[in-house]
Every structure is written in C-alpha cells, then in structure tokens.
Structure 1
Amino acid sequence: MTALSVNVNKVAVLRNSRGGGEPDVHRAAATCLDAGANGITVHPRPDARHIRADDVLQLARLTASRGVEFNIEGNPFAAPRPGYPGLLELCRQARPAQVTLVPDSDGQLTSDHGFDFARDAARLRPLVAGFKALGCRVSLFADAWDETRSAGIEHAADTGADRVELYTGPYAEAAAAGAAAPLLARFAGIARRARAVGLQVNAGHDLTRDNLGPFLAAVADVREVSIGHGLISEALYLGLERTVRGYLQVIADAGSNSAA
C-alpha cells in the first residue's frame, strides 16, 4: 500500500505572508494525521520563506508522538546560515524517519529537477552516509522524464541511498493536457530500473486527486507519495463551503444574542 505523506509547506507560506501564527502549521499537520495521512513532509529552505527550523522540531515531536513518519526534504549542499543550521544538523535534531535530498538552489521557487546521478553520485555518497548514520532512510530526488538524467538512475544506488523520489511535475503537466500515456510508460520503466538495482520508489510533485490514480495504476510498487500544493489547493475548495457556513453561523448566533 502506498503511503501518503502530506507536505505542509503551503500552510507555512500563508502564515508567513501575514506574520503571526495563523494558519497553525502544527494544527494543520495534526488535522492531516487525524484524517488518516501516513506522515508529514516539510522542505525547509535556507531563506525560511515557509517552513522554519522551529517548525521542523515541533513537527518532529508531533509525528513521533503519533508514531508516523516525518520526511524532511532539502538540498544537502546548502550552507548553514542564521536561522538555518543546515540540512544535516536539522536532521540531527529532528531525527526524521526519512530525508529526501533535492538539488534545488537557494532562490528556486520549487523543486523542478532531480540529480544527475552519473555526475553527482560521488559527491552524494558521503552525504548519504552522514544522514544514514543518524538513522534516517535516504531518498534522492530523481528525474524520469529527462532522458539524460534518468539514464543514470542506476548510479543512485551507488550513493548508498535507500530510495529515489520520482519528480512527477512533467507527468502532471502531461496529464492536464490529456497526453499522459507516453510519460506514464517512461515513469514505469524508470521505476523498474530503480527497483532492479535495489532502490525503492517514492513519487511527488503536482500530484492531485485527478492524476494520482492513473499514476499509481501505471507505476508499480510506489512506496510513498508526498503531496502538498495540490492537496492544500483542493482543501480550499472542499473545505471552503463548510468554513463559510461556520462563520455565518457565528454571525447569526451573535446577532441572536444581541437581539435578546
């Protein structure tokens, strides 16, 4: 059974846009777990534009108390700086079940490509060993759509990593255009190659309720999907009507009390 790990970065984006503590990232994560999510994912970046180091530690305590997995994503090459102790140190403090290494630059809006394993395996090897020494399972962000980068998927196993996370953004784009079949076949093939060298397979980026089912039907034995943007976006619609009615009820109740 594929596990669902909910990425709560977008909740932190909304909080940080206003300042203060609302919406509460911890409460949002707890709500996801109450609804049956198997874990929580965060991607703290050095500029702290959404998830901050204090969020990471708070969510580590929450997930530990619930007995579910915590997945921390990040660039292992990003240098520590004020407010960001570095990915390895964050993981040393939080001890997540899984760390997902992603090759994004500091100013990058969102993760949009995987590692070039033929080029990066040697640099990644000691970093992977460092995270595994903390007891973390290590997953590496990987392309399936780019022929040059995916050609070296077997090199991911040379790093000592446990899993790869297939970057599904291009699949989601193709699915929205009604042209998913060729990419689904490619993703399925890359996943088979990864498993053949001993790597388990995760997936994530731009997955939604509309495109997730076909993906899982085509790509066998996906261990985990990490979903944030699409899930939070859908929650605005699916939860909005009930929330608005709740506010109207509060107003109505206040009016009744005033009249009395």
Structure 2
Amino acid sequence: MTALSVNVNKIAVIRNSRGGNEPDVVRAARTCLQAGAHGITVHPRPDQRHIRTDDVLALAGLVAQQQVELNLEGNPFAPARAGYPGFLALCEQVRPAQATLVPDSDGQITSDHGFDFARDAARLAPLVAALKAMGCRVSLFVDAGGAGLDQARAMGAERIEIYTGPYAEAHARGDAVAALRDCVTTAEQARSLGLGVNAGHDLSQANLGEFRNAIPQLLEVSIGHALVSEALYAGLEQTVHNYLRILDSRV
C-alpha cells in the first residue's frame, strides 16, 4: 500500500493568521496519525509563513513517540536567517526519516517546479551526501517528464517526488491523459534506475485514485492543502480515512 504522509502546513497558516496556538499543529498531526496516516510532512520556509522551527521540533517529538516517519521538505540552498537555521541545520537537529529537497524561492506561494539537474546537480551532490550522513533518506522534487534522473541517482538520492500540480490541473479540466502519461514515464524511469517514487502537490480525493492506479510502484504521497480543505467539511479523521481507502483500492 502507498503510504500517506499528511502535510500540516495549512494548520499552521490558520494558526498564524490569528496568533496564539489554535489550531494546534501537533494536535492536528496526532489526529491524522490516530486515523491511520503513516507519517507527517512539513515544509518550513525561511519567512516562517506557516510551519516554524519550534513546530518542527515538536512534531519530531510526536513522530518519534508514535514511531512513524517525519518528512521534512525545504530548499537546501536558502540561507539561514532569524528564526530559521537553514534546511540542513534543521535536519541536523531533528533527523527526519526523509529529507525532501525542493527548489522553491522565498517569493513562491507554493512549490511549483522540480530541480533543473543540469544546473543544480553540482551544488546538490554534497548536500545529499551530508543529509545521508545524518541518516536521512533523501528525495528530490522533480517535474514529470523532466530530464536528469540519472544524475539524481548518481548523487546518491534514494527517491524522487514527482510534482503533480500539472496533473491535478489537467484532471480538473477533464483531460489528464498526457499529464498522467508524463508522471508514469517518470516513475518508470526512476524505478529502472533504482529510485523510489513519491508524489505530491494538489493531489486530492478527486484525482488520487486514478494517479495511484497508474503508478503501482508509488511508495508515498504527501498531501496537505486538499486534505485540510476537505476536512473543513468532513472532519480531519474522516478525511484521512477517505484517503487511506483510496490508496488501498484498485478501482
């Protein structure tokens, strides 16, 4: 079965809009895990617009207690600044099971593209090595249909995460064939190189089943925005159950 890692960034967005500690990020993550989620994902950004360093530390304690995985996402090239020690320094503190490297700039609302390996491989390689020395499994964010997976493998990455935003947009238009084919091709190429395959971004209950059925080798999906949005109507526990049923079905 494909693992579900719930991204709780949006819980922190709501909290930060008002201040204080409600809704409680750790309580939300605990609810997801009690409902059967296999892990928790967070993507702290240097501007601390949602998940903060103190959240990462608290969530690391929760996942250790629950014996599940923490997937820490971030841009390894972003410099440290007040309140944010830098991605590798944060990984050094909490030792996540998985470090997912994402090439997002400070000004991006959300991640919207994968690495350009022709440009970034030389800078990425020592960072991948450093994360692996910490005991982290390293995953690299990639575009479906993009080039350079052989470079990702050569630098020591163990997984890729396919950026599924274009697939989700195409699915919403009712014409996902080409976008899904790009995802399948990338997944097959990754597996042929010995890379595990994760996926994430704009996956939802509406489009996840088709995606999962097309890529049987899919190891993990990290889902946040859609899951939290849907939970406003159905409740967090029920929504996690809904996703787990989709991942466990073969319809």
Shared fold per TM-score greater than 0.5: yes
Amino acid at match of 1:236: L
Tell me by how many angstroms 1:237 deviates.
Answer: 1.1
Question: How much has 1:156 moved relative to structure 2?
Answer: 1.2
Cα displacement string for residues 164-219 of structure 1 (whole angstroms, at most 9, x for unaligned residues): 00000000000000001111111111111111111110000000011000001112
Correspondence for 1:219 among 200, 212, 215: 215
> How many angstroms does 1:121 deviate by?
1.3
String of CA shifts for 1:64-107, please: whole Å, max 9, x gaps: 00000000000000001110001111111111100000000012
Q: Which residue of 1 aligns with 2:83?
A: 83
TM-score by length of 1: 0.89
In the other structure, the counterpart of 2:101 is: 101
Q: Which residue of 1 aligns with 2:5?
A: 5
Count, aligned residues: 237
Residues 208 and 230, structure 1, Cα contact 8 Å, conserved in 2? yes
Corresponding residue SS for 1:119: helix
> Rg larger in 1 or in 2?
1
Q: Which amino acid aligns with 1:107?
A: G
Within 2, Cα distance between the matches of 1:223 and 1:47?
31
Distance 1:132 1:152 in 2: 20
Structure 2 counterparts to residues 188-199 of structure 1, below 5 A: 188-199=184-195
Contact 1:121–1:158 (Cα < 8 Å) also in 2: no
- Structure 1 portions without partners, runs of 5+: 243-260
Q: How far 1:120 moved relative to its partner?
A: 1.4
- Please list every run of 5 or more consecutive structure 2 residues that lacks an aligned counterpart in the other structure: 239-251
Partner of 1:208: 204
1:156 to 2:115 alignment: no
CA displacement 1:16-40 (0-9 Å, x = unmatched): 0000000000000000001000000
Distance in 2 of aligned mates of 1:98 and 1:112:
20
SS of alignment partner, residue 183 of structure 2: helix
Please name the residue that 1:166 is paired with.
Answer: 162
* Equivalent position SS for 1:83: coil
- Identify the residue that residue 50 of structure 2 maps to in structure 1: 50
Structure 1 residues 225-244: aligned runs within 5 Å: 225-239=221-235
Q: Secondary structure at the match of 1:209?
A: coil
Runs of 4+ with deviation above 3 angstroms:
none
* Aligned-partner Cα distance in 2 for 1:89–1:35: 31
Letter in 1 for 2:148: G
TM-score (norm 2): 0.92
